């Protein structure tokens, strides 16, 4: 089903693989390990690393969803936080380093997304919805100077249920003062698309992260883009001759 542009009043962005260039960072780390394996080096190591990362997307997110349904996601998150605290104390026993800097993954922002967000924020309220900790997402957004563009940062502990349950998007819609059906969920995995569909929102899948075109289409994406920044060309409102912002022009949005 094609994207209905006049219906869109608010934007919900996934983070890892959609705004943050997480997959390339993980591929680089894995490729560095594989490079030491006899017979696997250079381009072959990078290609194999990407295949592994992409292949793990569905089962990993499926495991998160299962834990959420069983009510085990909160205890697991608390355990993970305790383990991180222990690791921080071991890495910095004297307490002289910034604790936020320890274990922080140095992701980049997906190319073109920073500029896109500044433009779209002038026309749409926006939030981020992640299965990660909101504090980590907050630091990432502050680092790239875009935190103030978002009405809220929704993480694993913000709502009782996580993606692909619709609760995070329903919560986001309420925060932005719109109906869930007026939201557009943008993400790189089937989990993101299923979240949007379950909440009655429209969805856009992006191929710069962990999901494949086939998976995103089968999950029900209304539109699939090569990369997140391509969304600007789809949503950017036209300017009238007097410089006033007009409503977005309806256009063909093929999946």
| Integer Cα distance of 58 and 246 in angstroms | 40
Q: What pLDDT shows up at residue 38? A: 57
Full-model pTM: 0.70
Q: What pLDDT shows up at residue 31? A: 44
Q: What pLDDT shows up at residue 207? A: 94
Angle between helices 42-70 and 22-34 (to 10 degrees): 120
One digit per residue, the tens of pLDDT, for the chain of length 255 reads 789 999 999 999 999 999 998 754 444 544 455 455 555 555 554 455 455 555 555 555 555 555 545 554 445 455 454 554 555 555 555 554 444 443 444 578 999 999 999 999 999 999 999 988 899 999 999 999 999 999 999 998 899 888 989 999 999 999 999 999 999 999 999 999 999 999 999 999 999 988 889 999 999 999 999 999 999 999 986 444 444 444 454 444 444
How far out from the chain centre does Cα 154 lie? 11
Cβ-contact 31, 119 below 8 angstroms: no
Cβ-contact 121, 129 below 8 angstroms: no
Q: What pLDDT shows up at residue 89? A: 57
Domains of the chain, each with CATH number or no CATH: 5-22+107-235 (3.40.50.1000), 23-91 (no CATH)
């Amino acid at each position: 089903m094609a994207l209905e542009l006049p219906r869109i009043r608010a934007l919900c962005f996934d983070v890892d693989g959609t705004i943050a260039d997480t997959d390339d960072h993980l591929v680089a780390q894995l490729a560095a390990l594989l490079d030491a394996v006899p017979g696997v080096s250079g381009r072959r190591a990078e290609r194999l690393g990407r295949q592994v990362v992409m292949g793990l997307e569905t089962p990993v997110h499926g495991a998160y969803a299962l834990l959420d349904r069983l009510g085990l996601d909160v205890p697991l998150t608390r355990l993970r936080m305790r383990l991180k605290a222990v690791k921080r104390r071991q890495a910095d026993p004297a307490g002289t380093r910034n604790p936020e800097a320890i274990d922080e993954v140095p992701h980049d922002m997906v190319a073109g997304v920073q500029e896109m967000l500044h433009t779209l924020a002038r026309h749409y309220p926006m939030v981020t919805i992640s299965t990660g900790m909101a504090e980590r997402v907050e630091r990432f957004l502050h680092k790239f100077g875009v935190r103030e563009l978002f009405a809220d940062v929704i993480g694993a502990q913000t709502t009782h249920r996580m993606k692909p349950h619709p609760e995070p998007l329903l919560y986001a819609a309420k925060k932005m003062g719109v109906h869930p059906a007026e939201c557009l969920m943008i993400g790189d995995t089937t989990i993101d698309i299923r979240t949007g569909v379950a909440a009655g929102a429209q969805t856009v899948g992006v191929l710069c992260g962990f999901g494949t075109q086939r998976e995103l289409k089968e999950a029900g994406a209304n539109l699939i883009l090569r990369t997140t920044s391509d969304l600007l060309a789809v949503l950017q409102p036209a300017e009238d001759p007097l410089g006033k912002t007009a409503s977005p022009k309806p256009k063909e949005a093929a999946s």
